[in-house]
């Protein structure tokens, strides 16, 4: 159930209602929009409880309605305004399109810094890099771990770019969270509920990639696991789905971008690198993502893709990234973004 408060309702009124709800065994999630305040109520039998408590009669309450979708806090009905996720000075979900760029895996300080300075100059606003890598084979390079996190901290210090990196499990979550500005959940972990629940306890933005065979509903329910924990800073990320079409690594499902915008208030980004698996397709698909309404992209860039320890085939060179960025801003402008 959702309780909408009148424009001028006071903090005291909010607090009073929250208290009543908690006593009745309900969870209360408060969202502060520009024109009104919304209280999401989660729990069993919430409709009856709200009636029993006569919540509607409490001063400041404008209306009460139920959300029929299986996801509640993630739904547009719960929050009609777009969620803006703040990462340092960068706002994801606003007018400006954000570009997260960097190597698949952090390989050395030199590689990381060189890439970071270059992508920043080209217009990237956030830096990505893998420290703990989920690899299909136990014999593949698994990432530099904490060393990579330290390198990224140095990158942030030197370039001012905030850091996006993947967290793979609950064991390394505290360590990763010490360093990262945005905690990325990879496609294989989209339904790792234990991890999602733990992320709900943090107050750091989460970049939640879509599972490669997840429906939109399953994806938003995964976000719901984080939101119910009280962490409302979730960025969705489409990264391709598994289909019969083997001409690209995955099939980039761009139609979900406008669909997601209608179903949820959460921002959505697109990963054209992992989805296509081919660097040549990254610039046109980045343009397409922004034209479809995405709030940004996350792309793999490497100073020397042929020598990359992972995913070289899908990494842009620094030069290719730079020329892509020129075009991307023009497309952003054409659809009313910056």
Choose between 240 and 303: whose C-beta lies nearer to a copy of itself.
240
Q: Closer to a copy of itself by CB, 66 or 194: give it.
A: 194
Cβ contacts of 63-68, under 8 Å, gap ≥ 24: 63/3, 63/4, 64/1, 64/2, 64/3, 64/4, 65/1, 65/2, 65/4, 66/1, 66/2, 67/1, 67/2
Closest CA to 119 of 106, 102, 105: 102
Task: Give the residue with the Cβ less far from a copy of itself, 113 or 288.
Answer: 288
Closer CB to a copy of itself, 13 or 248, in the complex:
248
37/39 with CB nearer a copy of itself? 39
Nearer to a copy of itself among residue 110 and residue 333 (C-beta) = 333
Mention every residue, 6+ apart, whose C-beta is less than 8 A from residue 3.
Answer: 17, 38, 39, 41, 50, 55, 61, 63, 64
* Residue 268: C-alpha distances to residues 162, 264, 289, 297, 316 (Å): 18, 10, 10, 9, 22
* Dihedral angle computed from the Cα positions of residues 317, 319, 323 and 326, in that order, rounded to the nearest 10 degrees: 100
Structure letter (DSSP) for residue 137: S
Distance of closest approach, residue 252 Cβ to a copy of itself, in angstroms: 5
User: Which CB sits closer to a copy of itself, 195 or 207?
Assistant: 195
Query: Which residue shows structure tokens 């959505």?
Result: 268
In angstroms, give the least distance from the CB of 253 to a copy of itself. Answer: 5
Closer by beta carbon to a copy of itself, 61 or else 222:
222
Least distance from a copy of itself to the Cβ atom of residue 172, Å: 8
The CB-of-70 to a copy of itself minimum distance in angstroms stands at 5
Are 271 and 240 a contacting pair, CB within 8 Å? Answer: yes
* DSSP-derived secondary structure for 65-76: E---SS-STTBT
How far, in whole angstroms, is CA 275 from its chain's centroid? 16
CA-based end-to-end distance of the chain: 36
Q: Tokens in use for 309? A: 């320890």
Q: Is the dihedral of CA 233, 189, 153, 161 positive or negative?
A: negative
CA-derived radius of gyration, the chain: 21
**Cβ nearer to a copy of itself, comparing 15 with 334:** 334
Least separation in angstroms between residue 139's CB and a copy of itself is 7
Q: 218 with 241: CB under 8 angstroms?
A: no
In whole angstroms, the minimum distance from the beta carbon of 125 to a copy of itself comes to: 20
CB of 170 to a copy of itself, least distance (A): 6
As measured in angstroms, the least distance from the Cβ of 25 to a copy of itself is 14
Residue 324 beta carbon to a copy of itself: minimum distance, rounded to whole angstroms: 12
């Amino acid at each position: 159930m959702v309780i909408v408060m009148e424009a001028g309702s006071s903090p005291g009124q909010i607090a009073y209602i929250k208290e009543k709800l908690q006593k009745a065994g309900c969870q209360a999630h408060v969202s502060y929009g520009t024109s009104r305040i919304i209280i999401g109520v989660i729990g069993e039998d919430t409709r009856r409880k709200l009636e029993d408590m006569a919540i509607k009669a409490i001063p400041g309450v404008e209306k009460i309605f139920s959300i029929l979708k299986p996801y509640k806090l993630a739904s547009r009905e719960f929050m009609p305004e777009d969620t803006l996720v703040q990462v340092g000075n960068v706002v994801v979900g606003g007018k400006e399109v954000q570009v997260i760029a960097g190597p698949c895996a952090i390989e050395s300080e030199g590689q990381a810094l060189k890439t970071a300075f270059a992508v920043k100059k080209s217009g990237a606003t956030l830096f990505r890099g893998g420290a703990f890598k989920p690899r299909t084979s136990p014999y593949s390079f698994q990432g530099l771990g904490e060393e990579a996190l330290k390198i990224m901290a140095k990158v942030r210090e030197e370039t001012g770019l905030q850091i996006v990196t993947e967290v793979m499990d609950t064991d390394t979550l505290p360590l990763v969270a010490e360093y990262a500005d945005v905690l990325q959940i990879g496609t294989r972990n989209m339904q790792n509920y234990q991890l999602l629940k733990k992320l709900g306890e943090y107050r750091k933005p989460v970049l939640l990639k879509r599972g490669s065979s997840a429906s939109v509903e399953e994806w938003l329910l995964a976000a719901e696991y984080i939101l119910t924990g009280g962490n409302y800073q979730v960025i969705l990320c489409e990264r391709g789905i598994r289909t019969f079409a083997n001409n690209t690594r995955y099939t980039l499902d761009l139609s979900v971008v406008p669909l997601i915008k209608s179903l949820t208030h959460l921002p959505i980004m697109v990963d054209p690198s992992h989805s296509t698996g081919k660097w040549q397709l990254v610039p046109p698909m980045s343009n397409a993502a922004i034209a479809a309404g995405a709030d940004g992209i996350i792309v793999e860039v490497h100073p020397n893709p042929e020598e990359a320890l992972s995913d070289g085939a899908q990494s842009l060179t620094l030069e290719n990234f730079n020329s892509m960025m020129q075009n991307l801003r023009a497309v952003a402008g054409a659809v009313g973004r910056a």
